[in-house]
Structure 1
Amino acid sequence: MSVTSRYRQSWEGFWREASGEQGAVFWDAEPALTAGRHLALFEAHLTDPGLPMVDLGCGNGTQTRFLAERFPRVVGVELSAAALDHARQADPAGQATYRLFDAVEKTEAETLHAELGDANIYMRGVLHQAEPDDRQLMVNGIATLVGERGRAFLVELSESAKPVLMGLAQSPSGPPPKLAPIFRHGIAPGEVADAAVPEYLRAAGLSVLARGELPLITTEYGPDGARIELPSKWVVAGRTV
């Protein structure tokens, strides 16, 4: 099974329209506020930091390049070819490698695992944007990539983030400029129940090793000039003996 053509086309259209400038996309915050903070939570749980690190849903590669400065082999994987074009252009030195990847397609996860072996996974805010029927399949793919030794770090919007986003979208003055393209391309954020992510992981054969809450920082600002932050939850998962 693979993602729907509508879903794929929505993302392709979004990334074709997006500029390559860092910070131009709603969630493309600087690594010091995103992957840097996440890594501080994730790193202590890595049983083997030398394993390949897969940035799943890497987009334009902002966080991927940060990870590539800290791990020996980093692979950014992404559904959208246009996003990967941005990622490669922003990484002329080739710090990381990038590849097209459908995270719900079982054979693609198996192929990537055969190439890399067990891997550590970083995934930020991807699951809630997936079609509801694809979410368990996506987590199953993560379990395949993790294998026996890898660890996965997932950050997802909390249930309480949806009213915040809807409030922004329905503002009398219209949605903030960086949020508007998301809705225009039909990528309206979905809702994943807070209890669902651990259940997806358990169903895929992974154990929850740690969890917590941390705001997801965006690149957009509210009327008061403060950076818009969205409630989110994080989890570290892997196989235990």
Structure 2
Amino acid sequence: MDVSPRYRESWEGYWRATSDTPGEAIWDIDPALSAVPHSELLLPHADTSLPVVDLGCGNGTQTRYLATLFPRAIGVDLSQAAIDHARRADPAGVAEFEQLNLVDRDAVLALRERIGDANVYMRAVIHQSEPQDRAAVADAVATLLGSRGRAFVTELTHASKAVLQQAMQDPGGPPEKLRRVFTHGLKPADAEDIEIPDLLHAAGLTVLACGEEPLPQTEHLSDGTRIDLPATWYVLAQR
């Protein structure tokens, strides 16, 4: 199974057009506002002797922070261009990065066989995946956990779509970082709210904890207000 050529090229095109400047990607926020608070929610449930896999790692900013908490941190992304960014940003090799299509079950199983049970960090991947691929992404989380791993998954709620649409109509014009997302054909906040928990349950995952916390972005409106996108988070284990 594979993602559509359009979807793959949208992400490759986006990352090829993105510089190595920290924060140029709208979601490339400082870990202090992302992986740090997220890990504080995950760690009480997690075995920190296991590795952690950052699904949809992009340029690896959050992965490098996770490498300070776990003995091994592996960032994976559909886009090879994103992985190239991540490796350039980590010359010391604090984390590991590799291209992985989460929809390719054989590839996910191969990673699981190689590293064993693992913790998973996934930030806003299901909501922008194409509808036919979302179940496979949730299944990838469950596969990588095994019996001992725990996952932190956060996904944009449908309310984020209204926030994004309002930002695109900002009196100062569409924020450049957000405009680039849509120019490359990416579709954030495309899933309905009920779809995410249903997909996680169907994948054999059980919710250990959950809550609502916005995902801060690196872009601002013309009046200086930071764009924060409504999101729901889950700490998960295999049932």
The TM tier, using the shorter chain, reads over 0.9
Residue of structure 2 in register with 1:78 after alignment: 77
Q: Is the 8 A contact 2:64 2:95 kept in 1?
A: yes
Once the two structures are superposed, residues 110-166 of structure 1 have per-residue CA deviations (whole angstroms, 9 ceiling, x without a partner) of 100000111100000111110011001111111111111111111111111111111
Residue of structure 2 in register with 1:26 after alignment: 26
1:1-241 to 2 correspondence within 5 Å? 1-46=1-46, 48-171=47-170, 173-240=172-239
- Distance in 2, Cα, partners of 1:190 & 1:43: 27
Pair 190,232 (structure 1): closer, same or farther in 2 beyond 3 Å:
closer
- Report the Cα offset of residue 50 of structure 1: 1.1
TM-score, with structure 2 as normaliser: 0.97
User: What is the letter of the counterpart of residue 73 of structure 1?
Assistant: R
Identity %: 51
- Distance in 1, Cα, partners of 2:68 & 2:236: 23
- Distance in 1, Cα, partners of 2:110 & 2:202: 21
Pair 158,190 (structure 1): closer, same or farther in 2 beyond 3 Å:
closer
State the Cα RMSD in Å: 1.1
- Report the Cα offset of residue 196 of structure 1: 1.8
Q: Give unpaired runs (5+ residues) of structure 1.
A: none
- Distance in 2, Cα, partners of 1:163 & 1:226: 16
3-state DSSP of counterpart to 1:82: helix
Pair 216,190 (structure 1): closer, same or farther in 2 beyond 3 Å:
closer
- Report the Cα offset of residue 199 of structure 1: 1.2
Instruction: Name which of structure 1's ranges 152-161 and 193-202 shifts more when overlaid on structure 2.
Output: 193-202
Q: Is the 8 A contact 2:53 2:120 kept in 1?
A: yes
TM-score, with structure 1 as normaliser: 0.96
- Distance in 1, Cα, partners of 2:44 & 2:193: 24
- Report the Cα offset of residue 173 of structure 1: 4.3
- Distance in 2, Cα, partners of 1:113 & 1:188: 29
- Report the Cα offset of residue 230 of structure 1: 0.8
Pair 190,230 (structure 1): closer, same or farther in 2 beyond 3 Å:
closer
- Report the Cα offset of residue 176 of structure 1: 0.3
Q: Give unpaired runs (5+ residues) of structure 2.
A: none
- Distance in 1, Cα, partners of 2:91 & 2:35: 21
3-state DSSP of counterpart to 2:177: coil
- Report the Cα offset of residue 172 of structure 1: 5.1
3-state DSSP of counterpart to 1:58: coil
3-state DSSP of counterpart to 1:99: strand
- Report the Cα offset of residue 197 of structure 1: 1.6
Q: Is the 8 A contact 2:206 2:238 kept in 1?
A: yes
- Distance in 1, Cα, partners of 2:94 & 2:133: 31
Once the two structures are superposed, residues 30-69 of structure 1 have per-residue CA deviations (whole angstroms, 9 ceiling, x without a partner) of 00011111111111111x1111100000000000111111
- Report the Cα offset of residue 186 of structure 1: 0.3
Q: Is the 8 A contact 2:152 2:235 kept in 1?
A: yes
